């Protein structure tokens, strides 16, 4: 190789390295490294954020450590939209509308004035307690932590005050002679509060008997576990005390991973590469020397530096193809499958928050309601005990029952309960299904009949006149009663399609 050729190769090599450096600068402007860095930070444990790795998540799920599972559930409830949305769906599914049933002692009647007074006082108390909001709070905590622990700190005619207890410092290992769970509170909780002022303020909130127990514990005269009286302790496990939906966390991670891969693929597909091929002379020599090609390359790069989706390639070689396109359908399918897997792990329908068919969705919601009605029975027991402690006597006792009414089935529930009312069954249940309390329905009817006298002023139209305006044909079915083919045809018509 002669000296001139060697010098040209050296110049070309140096120019090539500089051109690659310029391309790298353009590529980094695209933000791909930043995007993947964000995704990796979400998976790797960070000392400030406390994020989890996949290995740590699998280890927690396989372990028997309840506290680590609760911490995992809390983290994803705060940081993962799917996990949070699923838990909130279950927590807010029921309307938590209940009926208070007075049970007079044998031989007595509810018409007795003293019993009526007890009933009205109890019904007014429930109205002031705002139970639907309270029960939703209990459900969120039970779904997130596996169990809700609380302490009834005040019961008055103005309402009900329940103090949330820290899950980590509560347990229930025993059952009393009446079959009730015995709740214990670990007073070491107060030692976990570092600042003395905050600790004293916290002690002021807790009942005196717990504070006294803590003082004696500090003197070595008590153990750290303080048993709570059964009449004020609130222990509400959802199922078995373990966060129920932990297993959908890996599915949620897979969905995030599929989205990240799909986004990276999309960014790659919109990338454009401009190829500048330096021509040769007829005798095979270079039209432009390497240092001249470098200036040409730099000029083009500077001209396009504001477009983050463009790269520049300057070469002496022939280039056939440098951009490969992926199959977008396969990419979208992987994302859809990952999304469906999240709902499969939670036992819910993948159409829960965006449905095209009501058949499978209705079955899924009924299954969801069945789960939450198990929790509702625990709430029934709590309120029944509370009502009897405060209002029952030798003449009357009370029972409280939450009705299986959701925001999805309320219309049908009202319709069916109205049919039963026409046959002599309860008039209260359809009113409760509409969100009217037991006290309010009496006041509403008194207002209509005795004050406004609407029964005399609002006279229904005659039956024959009403029937003459009826439309011919069978009334339209409810969406959940339609077949899949009917639903598909209606969707096609809405979109301007053909049902043939």
pLDDT in tens, 420-452: 888 888 888 888 888 888 888 888 888 888 888
3-state secondary structure 50-68: CCCCHHHHHHHHHCCCHHH
Asked if residue 488 has pLDDT above 80, the reply is no
pTM value is 0.68
Token look-up 């208070």 returns 100
Please choose, from the candidates 338, 350, 403, 346, the residue with its C-alpha nearest in 3D space to the C-alpha of residue 143: 346
**Contact between residue 191 and residue 203 where contact means Cβ atoms under 8 Å apart:** no
- Say if residue 356's pLDDT is above 90: no
Closest CA to 141 of 150, 152, 128: 150
d(CA 218, CA 206): 17
pLDDT at 258 over 80: no
> 496 Cβ partners below 8 Å, 6+ apart?
none
Strand, helix or coil for residue 48 = coil
Output phi, psi for 193, to 5 deg: -90, 110
Q: What Cα–Cα distance (Å) separates residue 52 from each residue in 73, 142, 253, 329?
A: 11, 22, 11, 31
pLDDT digits (tens, 9 = 90+) for 106-131: 988 888 999 999 999 999 899 888 89
Per-residue confidence (pLDDT) for residue 418, from 0 to 100: 87
Q: What pLDDT does 90 receive?
A: 93
List, for residues 451-471, the tens digit of each pLDDT value: 888 878 887 766 554 554 455
For every residue of 209-252, DSSP letters joined together read HHHHHHHHHHTTSS-SEEEPPTTTEEEEESSSSS-TTTTHHHHH
Arithmetic mean of pLDDT, 377-388: 94
Q: Which helix (H) or strand (E) holds 75?
A: helix 66-79
Is 496's pLDDT higher than 60? Answer: no
More confident residue, 498 or 139: 139
What's the rounded mean pLDDT across residues 351-369?
65
Instruction: Give the H/E segment covering residue 137.
Output: helix 131-145
Task: Copy the structure tokens of residue 279.
Answer: 């021509």
pLDDT at 88 over 80: yes
Q: Pick from 65, 67, 88: which is nearest to 77 by CA?
A: 88
Distance CA 232, CA 208 (A): 13
Give me the long-range contacts of 188-193 (CB less than 8 A, separation at least 24): 188/224, 190/214
CA distance 347 to 143: 14
Query: Above 50 in pLDDT, residue 27?
Result: no
Both tokens assigned to 355: 């449905």
| pLDDT digits 0-9 by tens, 226-250 | 999 988 999 999 988 899 888 888 8
CA 127 to chain centre: 28
**By three-state DSSP, how is residue 475 classified?**
coil
- Write down the pLDDT at residue 32: 36
Residue 74 clears pLDDT 90, i.e. is over it: yes
| Residue 48 or 429, more confident | 429
Tokens at residue 408, please? Answer: 């999805």
pLDDT digits (tens, 9 = 90+) for 392-431: 999 999 999 999 999 888 888 888 888 888 888 888 888 8
Cα separation, 158 vs 150, whole angstroms = 19
Bridge partners (DSSP) of residue 181 are 175
CB atoms within 10 A of CB 446: 11
Instruction: Give the C-alpha distances (Å, rounded to integers) separating 181 from 81, 236, 475.
Output: 34, 10, 52
The pLDDT tens digits of the residues spanning 202-214 come to 999 999 999 999 9
Mode of pairing for the β-strands spanning 181-186 and 225-227: antiparallel
Confidence of residue 157 (pLDDT cuts 50, 70, 90): confident
First-to-last C-alpha distance (Å) of the chain: 77
Q: What token pair was written down for 6? A: 């060697």
Instruction: Note the maximum CA span of the chain.
Output: 123
CA 389-392-396 angle, 5° bins? 155
| Distance separating alpha carbons of residues 242 and 67, to the nearest angstrom | 9
Give the rounded distance of the alpha carbon of 393 from its chain centre. Answer: 42
Compute the distance between CA of residue 86 and CA of residue 368 in angstroms, rounded to an integer.
11
Q: Which residue has the higher pLDDT, 391 or 265?
A: 391
Query: How much is the mean pLDDT over the chain?
Result: 77
Q: Using CA atoms, how far apart are residues 314 and 303, in angstroms rounded to an integer? A: 14
Q: Does the pLDDT value for residue 79 go beyond 90?
A: no
């Amino acid at each position: 190789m002669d000296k001139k050729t060697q010098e040209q190769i050296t110049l070309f090599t140096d120019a090539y390295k500089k051109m690659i450096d310029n391309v790298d600068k353009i590529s980094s402007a695209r933000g791909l490294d930043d995007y993947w860095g964000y995704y990796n930070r979400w998976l790797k444990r960070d000392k400030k954020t406390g994020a989890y790795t996949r290995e740590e998540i699998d280890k927690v799920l396989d372990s028997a450590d309840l506290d680590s599972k609760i911490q995992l559930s809390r983290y994803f409830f705060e940081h993962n939209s799917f996990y949070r949305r699923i838990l909130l769906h279950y927590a807010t599914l029921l309307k938590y509308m209940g009926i208070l049933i007075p049970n007079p002692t044998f031989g007595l009647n509810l018409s007795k004035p003293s019993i009526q007074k007890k009933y009205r006082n109890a019904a007014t108390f429930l109205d002031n307690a705002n139970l639907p909001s309270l029960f939703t709070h209990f459900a969120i905590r039970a779904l997130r932590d596996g169990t809700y622990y609380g302490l009834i700190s005040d019961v008055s005619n103005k309402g009900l005050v329940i103090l949330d207890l820290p899950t980590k410092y509560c347990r229930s290992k025993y059952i009393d002679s009446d079959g009730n769970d015995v709740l214990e509170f670990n007073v070491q909780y107060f030692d976990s509060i570092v600042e003395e002022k905050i600790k004293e303020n916290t002690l002021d909130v807790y009942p005196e008997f717990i504070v006294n127990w803590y003082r004696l514990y500090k003197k070595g005269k008590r153990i750290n576990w303080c048993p709570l009286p059964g009449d004020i302790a609130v222990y509400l496990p959802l199922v078995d005390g373990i966060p129920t939906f932990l297993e959908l966390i890996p599915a949620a991670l897979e969905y995030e991973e599929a989205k990240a891969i799909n986004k990276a693929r999309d960014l790659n597909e919109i990338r454009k590469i401009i190829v500048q091929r330096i021509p040769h002379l007829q005798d095979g020599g270079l039209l432009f020397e390497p240092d001249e090609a470098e200036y040409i390359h730099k000029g083009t790069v500077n001209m396009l530096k504001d477009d983050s989706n463009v790269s520049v390639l300057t070469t002496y070689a022939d280039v056939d193809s440098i951009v490969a396109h992926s199959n977008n359908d396969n990419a979208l399918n992987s994302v859809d499958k990952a999304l469906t897997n999240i709902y499969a792990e939670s036992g819910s329908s993948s159409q829960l928050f965006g449905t095209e068919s009501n058949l499978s969705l209705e079955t899924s919601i009924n299954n969801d309601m069945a789960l939450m009605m198990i929790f509702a029975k625990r709430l029934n027991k709590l309120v029944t005990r509370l009502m009897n402690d405060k209002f029952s006597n030798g003449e009357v006792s009370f029972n409280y029952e939450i009705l299986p009414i959701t925001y999805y089935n309320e219309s049908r529930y009202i319709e069916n309960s109205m049919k039963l009312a026409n046959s002599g069954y309860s008039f209260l249940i359809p009113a409760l299904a509409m969100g009217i309390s037991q006290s309010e329905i009496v006041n509403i009817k008194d207002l209509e009949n005795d004050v406004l006298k609407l029964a005399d002023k609002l006279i229904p139209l005659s039956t024959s006149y009403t029937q003459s305006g009826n439309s011919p044909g069978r009334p339209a079915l409810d969406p959940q009663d339609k077949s899949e083919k009917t639903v598909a045809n209606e969707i096609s018509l809405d979109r301007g399609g053909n049902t043939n």
